Every structure is written in structure tokens, then in C-alpha cells.
Amino acid sequence: NSITSNDQLPWTHEATLNAFGYVQASKQNRKFLSTPTDYSYALISDSRIHLYIYKQNTPTSNLPGTSLRNRKTGKVVDSIAKQHMISLENHNEILGLITTNEQTFILTDDQLFIISV
């Protein structure tokens, strides 16, 4: 069987994480990838230690006194996405994680980390 029209597609588009494919492709040691139900951020974990939080675009108007410009075109940038790296205090393997709209829970074999996002 083949799908011949959009009416037959079993999935729907929920959200877009701008440039996230590029971001996750650069993380060659990734083990887990998750996003909360509001799609405000995405989280990538290595198998140990490092977590990467990629936040959706936010307006630069939230950054008072800042006038960001594209270096090549000179055009004013109206929004930016942010990426944060978190290093866990132990070096145990990350066994699992879950993301909620406000927090991320990371389980290792001897600790549960809770990070407010």
C-alpha cells in the first residue's frame, strides 16, 4: 500500500525547532533526545556527564540595550535561539530522562537530577 494524498497521512505536524537538526547532528555522543509538550526547548544528553538544552527562538526585544545584527548582511536580528551545556556532578551513565515544560529529570544509577528550565 502507498499513501497517495495528504488525507491519508497518519501523522500531523506539531512544532518546529528551528535549526535543531543541525544542532543535534553535531552531538555525536548523544544518547537521549527529548522535548516537553510545549516544545519550548529540546534536550540532548550524552551517555555520561553532559546535557545540552536548546531553547526556541526568543525575541531580542527581551534583551534590553541590545541591537544584534547579522555580520554578513547588516540586517537587525529580531530573535535568537540559545543553547546551554550542563555538566552533571557525577560521571555515572545517564539511564534515562524526561522533560516537562518547567523541569527536566535525569536519572543515573545512583542519583536523580532535577533541573529547572
Question: Which residues, in sequence order, are bridge partners of residue 113?
Answer: 106
Q: Which residues of the chain are modeled with pLDDT < 70?
A: 1-6, 62-63, 66
Instruction: Tell me what pLDDT residue 90 has.
Output: 86
Report, in angstroms and rounded to the nearest whole number, the Rg of the chain calculated over CA atoms: 18
Domain positions in the chain are 30-116
Instruction: Tell me what pLDDT residue 101 has.
Output: 96
Question: Which residues, in sequence order, are bridge partners of residue 108?
Answer: 94
Contact at 8 Å (CB) between 42 and 51? no
Rounded to two decimals, the pTM is 0.76
Grid look-up 547579522 returns 70
Please name the amino acid found at residue 46. Answer: D
